[in-house]
Amino acid sequence: MSELRVFWLRVVWAISLLLVAVDCQSTHPTEVTALRVIKESIDPENSLSNWGPGDPCASNWTGVLCFNTTKDDNYLHVRELLLLNLNLSGTLSPALAQLSYMEILDVMWNQITGSIPKEIGDLKSLILLLLNGNQLTGSLPEEIGYLPNLDRIQIDQNYISGPIPRSFANLTQAMHFHMNNNSLSGPIPPELSRLPLLVHLLLDNNNLSGPLPPELSEMPRLRILQLDNNHFDGIIPPSYGNMLQLLKLSLRNCTLQGPIPDLSRIPNLAYIDLSNNNLNGSIPAMNLSDDITTIDLSRNQLTGTIPPSFSGLPNLQRLYLFNNSLNGSVPSTIWQNRALNSTVQLTLDMQNNNISGVSGGLILPQYVNLSLQGNPVCSNGSLQGNASMPAFCGSPMALISHLQSIPSNSTDNCPASCPSGYELAPGSPTPCFCAAPLFIGYRLKSPGFSDFPAYFYSFEVYLTSGLTIKQFQLDLNYEWEKGPRLRMYLKIFPEFMGPGTDTNVFNRSEVLRIRNLFTQWAIPDSEIFGPYELLNFTLLGPYEAIDPRPSSSSGISKGAVAGIVIGAILGAVLLSAFASLYILRLHRKKYHAISKRRRVSRASLKIEGVKSFTYEEMKRATDNFDVGSEVGQGGYGKVYKGILTNGTVVAIKRAQEGSLQGEKEFLTEIELLSRLHHRNLVSLLGFCDEEGEQMLVYEFMSNGTLRDHLSEKYKESLSFSMRLRIALGSAKGILYLHSEADPPIFHRDIKATNILLDSKLISKVADFGLSRLAPVADMEGVVPGHVSTVVKGTPGYLDPEYFLTHKLTDKSDVYSLGVVFLELLTGMHPITHGKNIVREVNIAYRSGMIFSVIDAKMGSYPSECVEKFVTLALKCCKEDTDERPSMAEIVRELENIRHMMPESDSQTSDYIVTKLGKNVSPDQSSSSTTKNPYVSSDISGSDLVSGVVPSITPR
């Protein structure tokens, strides 16, 4: 038993260490003094009233966040000063330099004056320097350029003058320079081009001058270059056409001259603003990226004609060419070729040029605003008698910016109002749910679009997945501000967790988690939305009392130390008890061969959001895995319908011999699945890993698979609008997997039997069994184009490109989904008697016979919508992956089609209640080739009244 003795020695040693550590849990005296000096200088109003006699790290000083363990010197050290929006004035003290381990200095949105102390250059660990929204003056100290770990400088909205120091070129870790809205002068140092990681360079609204350095094009990662409202000399360097990562180029009102450079080579350029300069020459005929949303070349001296290359840009929202000297005519192909996105507003402002006509069709779709006032075309009578003329030539509508909100479910019909501090959660699936929201001021500093409604949905997905909350928990209002920047007022509501639970308030740790994600910029930057900033995160109502310091920054008072010591001793006693048990078990193991695999898994599997079930519970839920509970058989094993003790109906996937995965794989799959939450994905509720069994427990989809609903089995069929809804839901679920899951996921086995329908016929994508982690981009870097894997998938749905090359891309899922769309439209199977659905529909389409293959069971339908849907489906199934739309484009186009539907058809009231065959015996259904793993055969075998499908929605 020498093992045991060694162990006890270790316990004693650990306790003594702990006691020593507890004894020294205080802040380094230098830092205590420094904090007092800082307060003295920054806080004349005494907003930091609790920065008193106690210890900064060990008692609760507002905004002082410390490392939770001591450093080598056995003292605690300040990690972060989080002092945003605290009504601080006064000046920044050089004593800040004494907080030598500090990583985040955040004093945003106060009224601090004076200059930035050069001593900040001593803070070698500093990662975020956040001084924006104050009244700082003086110049930028070159010492800031010596900070080896600095990721982000935000000094915007101050009165800082003088040059940008050349030393900033040494900031090799910097990704974000936000220095807009100051009085910086002098040239942009060409040396900045050495910054290897810089993604956002915002220097707009300063007094910068000199030439634009051509070298900036050498920055390998630059996404946003925003330099508006400065006084540069000379031209836009042609080299800027080589900034291949660029998304936004904004050089408005910069006194620039010369020609517009060719920007054709930039693959993802979304936003160009070169307005209000002295640019001349003609607009080059450049092939702009399909991602382009905004082109503003107004207020220059441009001549020549409007190039045809502005046509067919599918995401274009704004084309401003007014106040130039352009001639010729406006090609109507600018709006005619917008295959996708036909509901996004397109504003074409071409006033005050020499434009003499409009070529091509003169019929303006509703979503296009064209202004031609002040052109010969409006005065020379060539448009006389044309119905559209007043629309072209009248004075344009003023663009009014006012507070708008993202539409969400109505709460109009809710009876009582909520108590103070609480509001009806507008998006909540629980009707009339009163909850206490968090109020957050938020702003997109440099968005890549000009019309937000087109991006509502993706913004919701982006922000809620970044915060790991559900989409319906977010409510927002927004307005455009100068810049243009997009100001938002966010409300985040807690989620209703079931009756009897007190969940209409976030708990403290959730509040802090959400706040930290904002204050530490932990929500990844998105391309189109650009950098964001937090304006305020004020704790109101029931949250007012929350001590905003994270528990990790030891909030230990002196008085609590005694408690800790006692706790430590108690802990040690308990620990020793466990240790003895453990050692006993170790010894037992030699004699009783306990499955090591099983124990390891029980110990390590604690995954948030999913429940670990015992084998007993699974046995009980399925009546000892009775044949009667069996609802299907997949490649993985049998699927059972189960009823948990709390009454929840679930689908249980039980791995069969040979499907048992290694411990790691099983764990990986569960971890992966547990992180995915989307209305259109089947959610994992739990798992069981015991007795040599592996089972996955899912929410039960009472309406079975899409394939079943398309087959003859169902007497009543889905209407076209239902089919469209199912398609849209599926596409959204997959879009989430592709773009919002972290890391992104390719499904790899999308098919009609993997699209399930819940009690409300909402489609949910199932079975990520074949999912592989998609290639991951480093923070903001380049994603490898594909992952090479062994070909898996189902015949008929398999992307031919993937089959040939083994290169799996997001477009492989697009192909499979396209096949599902064709099934939805035609009712056919992907392969029947050797005929392939894609080929068959293509043949019908090319010969103009498309309606001959449309599923007759779906009744009447608006033919133009069906046509658009077929076109989309076939586009998804293009041989060439590049010709296929992206999942986001699919979602947009389906939304468009849905908006085109006649009003009554697009309402939710037209669900066709599906009927299950009355007399299908379990035997019959088990012989069916399309047997659905989630639909209970005991539903079809029972004496259910035809037309009534049990509504089972777990959770």
Ligand X SMILES: *[C@@H]1O[C@H](CO)[C@@H](O)[C@H](O)[C@H]1NC(C)=O
Is residue 447 within 8 A of residue 528, CB to CB? The reply is yes
Q: How far apart are CA 851 and CA 721, in angstroms?
A: 16
Q: Which two tokens stand for residue 912?
A: 């066709």
Give the interface size with ligand X as a residue count (CB under 6 A): 18
Q: Long-range contacts for 508-515 (Cβ within 8 Å, ≥24 apart)?
A: 508/546, 508/547, 509/551, 511/438, 511/539, 511/543, 511/546, 512/546, 512/548, 512/550, 512/551, 514/438, 514/467, 514/469, 515/548
Interacting span for ligand X (CB under 6 A) from 229-237, 378-386, 405-413, 830-838: 229-237
Residues 346-375 that bind ligand X (CB under 6 A): none
**Shortest distance, CB of residue 49 to ligand X, whole angstroms?**
8
Interacting span for ligand X (CB under 6 A) from 105-113, 224-232, 258-266, 437-445: 224-232
- The burial class, CB within 10 Å (0-12 / 13-18 / 19+), for 606 is exposed
3-state secondary structure 341-365: CCCCCEEEECCCCCCCEEECCCCCC
Beta carbon nearer to ligand X, 481 or 864: 481
Q: Tell me if 60 contacts ligand X by CB under 6 A.
A: yes
**Shortest distance, CB of residue 884 to ligand X, whole angstroms?**
42
Short-list 661, 758, 632, CA closest to 703: 758
Q: Tell me if 230 contacts ligand X by CB under 6 A.
A: yes
Interacting span for ligand X (CB under 6 A) from 84-92, 165-173, 590-598, 869-877: 165-173
Write the DSSP string, 615-633. HHHHHHHTTTT-GGGEEEE
Among 33, 50, 337, 409, binds ligand X (CB under 6 A): 50
Among 25, 26, 47, 59, binds ligand X (CB under 6 A): 59
Short-list 80, 84, 130, CA closest to 111: 84
Tell me if residue 122 is catalytic: no
Selecting among 749, 767, 855, 905, the annotated active-site residue is: 749
**Shortest distance, CB of residue 742 to ligand X, whole angstroms?**
19
Write the DSSP string, 416-443. SPPPTT-EE-TT-SSTT-EE-PEEEEEE
- The burial class, CB within 10 Å (0-12 / 13-18 / 19+), for 403 is exposed
Residues 250-269 that bind ligand X (CB under 6 A): 253
Among 552, 648, 711, 930, binds ligand X (CB under 6 A): 552
Interacting span for ligand X (CB under 6 A) from 109-117, 150-158, 166-174, 217-225: 166-174
Is residue 252 within 8 A of residue 296, CB to CB? The reply is yes
H helices of 369-503, in order, are 376-379, 389-393, 456-466
Beta carbon nearer to ligand X, 143 or 533: 143
Q: How far is CA 487 from CA 452, 465, 863, in A?
A: 11, 20, 41
Beta carbon nearer to ligand X, 167 or 809: 167
Beta carbon nearer to ligand X, 142 or 495: 142
Q: Tell me if 132 contacts ligand X by CB under 6 A.
A: no
Short-list 284, 285, 334, CA closest to 314: 334
Contact letters (x/-) for ligand X, 817-856, by CB under 6 A? ----------------------------------------
Opening angle at CA 829, ends 827 and 834, nearest 5: 135
Interacting span for ligand X (CB under 6 A) from 164-172, 303-311, 470-478, 700-708: 164-172
Among 170, 250, 352, 730, binds ligand X (CB under 6 A): 170
Interacting span for ligand X (CB under 6 A) from 162-170, 536-544, 895-903, 919-927: 162-170
Contact letters (x/-) for ligand X, 772-801, by CB under 6 A? ------------------------------
Q: Tell me if 231 contacts ligand X by CB under 6 A.
A: yes
Amino acid at 850: I
Beta carbon nearer to ligand X, 299 or 738: 299
Interacting span for ligand X (CB under 6 A) from 163-171, 173-181, 287-295, 657-665: 163-171
Among 380, 557, 832, 852, binds ligand X (CB under 6 A): 557
Residues 68-97 that bind ligand X (CB under 6 A): 68
Pairing of strands 611-613, 532-538: unpaired
Q: How far apart are CA 479 and CA 348, in angstroms?
A: 22
Contact letters (x/-) for ligand X, 171-200, by CB under 6 A? --------------------x---------
Read off φ and ψ for residue 489, nearest 5 degrees.
Answer: -115, 105
Among 71, 166, 664, 715, binds ligand X (CB under 6 A): 166
Residue 831's SS3 state is strand
Q: How far apart are CA 194 and CA 171, in angstroms?
A: 9
Q: Tell me if 26 contacts ligand X by CB under 6 A.
A: no
Beta carbon nearer to ligand X, 134 or 276: 276
Beta carbon nearer to ligand X, 170 or 526: 170
For residues 436-453, b (16+ Cβ closer than 10 Å) or e, as one string? bbbebbbbbbbbbbbebe
**Interacting residues with ligand X (CB under 6 A):** 50, 59-60, 68, 145-146, 166-167, 169-170, 191, 229-231, 253, 276, 552, 557
Catalytic residue annotation: 749
